[in-house]
Amino acid sequence: MSASARYHVRHATACAYASDVVHSQQLLHLVPRPAPHQQCLEHEISVSPGTYRRRDEVDAFGNPITRIEIEQPHRELEVVSAMVVDIYARAAFRPTESVPWEQVAEQLRFKGHAPSRENLEACRFRHESPYVRVKQIFSDYAQDCFPPGRPLAACAYDLMTKLHRELKYSPGATTVATPVTEVLEIRRGVCQDFAHLMISCLRSRGLAARYMSGYVKSSMSGAASHAWVALYTPPFGWLELDPTNDTLAGTEHIGIAWGRDFGDVSPLRGSILGGGTHQLSVSVDVTRLNP
C-alpha cells in the first residue's frame, strides 16, 4: 500500500419531481471531515436551482454539514460535491498489543458514574441506534472471534474476515430500511449492511463502534460511495475496518463523516412541500490524480 494518494471526487445527486416543489430544506454530509490521515485541498458544492439559502455548520458528532433551503418552485434538484483530497497511510501497529477485549468492554460498561475522559467519547457509540441493534443473536454470531483474553484488534480482524466470507455482496437484496436482523438471516447486502452488522456484533459484546461514511477507490470495488467501521481499540484509539473488502481502511478510503449508523451521516436528506412522485439518481466518480 502506498504512503499517500490524491483523489478527485465528484458526487452528484439529482431528483426529478412530477409537480412543483414549492419549498425544500436539505441537510448535506458532503464535506470531508478533517483527520490526521486526510487533508482536503479543494471543495465545492453546487446546487440547482441556483437561488437558495446556505448555512455551513457542524453536527453533534463534529462532522461538517451544509444546510440549504430553496423557496422558489422547481421540478428538479441537483446537488454536486467536488473535492480534491490527500489521503495518508494510517500508523501501523501490532494487533497483539491491543488490550484484551473483555477489559475494553468492562471499561465502557455503565457503573453508575461518569466514565473516564478517554472513554467518554467512545461510550456514545456503545448502545443501540436506529439501524443498529444490541441483541444476543449478534453476540452469539461473533462468539468464535472473541475467545477469552484475546487482544481486541485480533478479535476485530477475525470478525471482519468472517463477515466478508459469510455475507454475499448483493446490490438490490436489501434497502436502507432492511433490519440488521434480516441481514444476518439472509447473509447478503451492500456495504452499509456489512457495516451495520459488524457494528451490531461489536456493540452486542459491550464494545464501541462507529459507522464511517465516505468513498473507496480499489480494484475490488471500483469507485463508489462506501461505508466501513471504526472500533475503539485501546491503546491505539479508533481502528478502521472494512468488512465489505476484508481490509483495514487505508489510502483507498476517503472519509466524509462518522456517526452511530447510516441515519446520522446520510449524504443528503431533507423535507419538501409538493413534488408528488420523484425519481432519484446518484453518481460517484473517484479519480486518482497521482501515480
pLDDT confidence of residue 144:
98
Residues 115 and 245 in one domain: yes
Residues 118 and 52 in one domain: no
Categorize the per-residue pLDDT at 114 as very low, low, confident or very high, splitting at 50, 70 and 90.
Answer: confident
Query: Rounded distance, CA 272 to CA 280, Å?
Result: 14
In a domain, 255, yes or no: no
pLDDT by residue (tens digit) across 228-268?
999 999 999 999 999 999 999 999 999 999 999 999 999 99
Mean pLDDT for the chain overall: 94
Residues 116 and 239 in one domain: yes
Residues 44 and 176 in one domain: no
The C-alpha cell 478479535 sits at 155
In a domain, 260, yes or no: no
In a domain, 197, yes or no: yes
Please name the amino acid found at residue 261. D
Residues 106 and 194 in one domain: yes
Taking residues 98-109, report their average pLDDT. Answer: 95
Residue 122 has pLDDT above 90, yes or no: yes
pLDDT by residue (tens digit) across 15-27?
999 999 999 999 9
Neighbour tally for 37: CB within 10 Å: 17
In a domain, 204, yes or no: yes
In a domain, 103, yes or no: yes
In a domain, 257, yes or no: no
Query: Rounded distance, CA 254 to CA 225, Å?
Result: 9
- Find out whether 15 and 267 touch, Cβ atoms under 8 Å: no
In a domain, 258, yes or no: no
Name the pairing type of β-strands 247-248 and 237-242. antiparallel
pLDDT confidence of residue 2:
66
Residue 33 has pLDDT above 80, yes or no: yes
The three cell numbers of residue 20 are 412543483
CA dihedral 3, 212, 184, 98 (to 10 degrees): 60
Query: Rounded distance, CA 178 to CA 185, Å?
Result: 11
Query: Rounded distance, CA 20 to CA 6, Å?
Result: 41
Query: Rounded distance, CA 102 to CA 112, Å?
Result: 19
Residues 171 and 55 in one domain: no
Phi (first) and psi of residue 246, to 5 degrees: 55, 55
Taking residues 54-80, report their average pLDDT. Answer: 97
Q: Give the closest residue to 2 by CA, choosing from 108, 89, 96.
A: 89
Report the number of distinct structural domains present in the chain: 2
Contacts of 207 (CB under 8 A, 6+ apart): 101, 104, 105, 108, 126, 152, 231, 232
Taking residues 138-161, report their average pLDDT. Answer: 98
Residue 163 is part of which domain span?
95-249
pLDDT by residue (tens digit) across 39-65?
999 999 999 999 999 999 999 999 999
Residues 12 and 74 in one domain: yes
Residue 30 has pLDDT above 70, yes or no: yes
Categorize the per-residue pLDDT at 223 as very low, low, confident or very high, splitting at 50, 70 and 90.
Answer: low
CATH of residue 33's domain is 2.60.40.2250
In a domain, 129, yes or no: yes
Residues 137 and 211 in one domain: yes
Residues 81 and 151 in one domain: no
Residues 186 and 241 in one domain: yes
Residue 85 has pLDDT above 90, yes or no: yes
CATH of residue 148's domain is 3.10.620.30
Residues 81 and 128 in one domain: no
Taking residues 127-131, report their average pLDDT. Answer: 97
Query: Rounded distance, CA 208 to CA 233, Å?
Result: 9
Residue 140 class from Cβ within 10 Å (0-12 exposed, 13-18 middle, 19+ buried)?
Answer: exposed
Residues 61 and 147 in one domain: no
pLDDT confidence of residue 183:
98
Least confident of 90-99, 101-110, 194-203, 274-283: 90-99
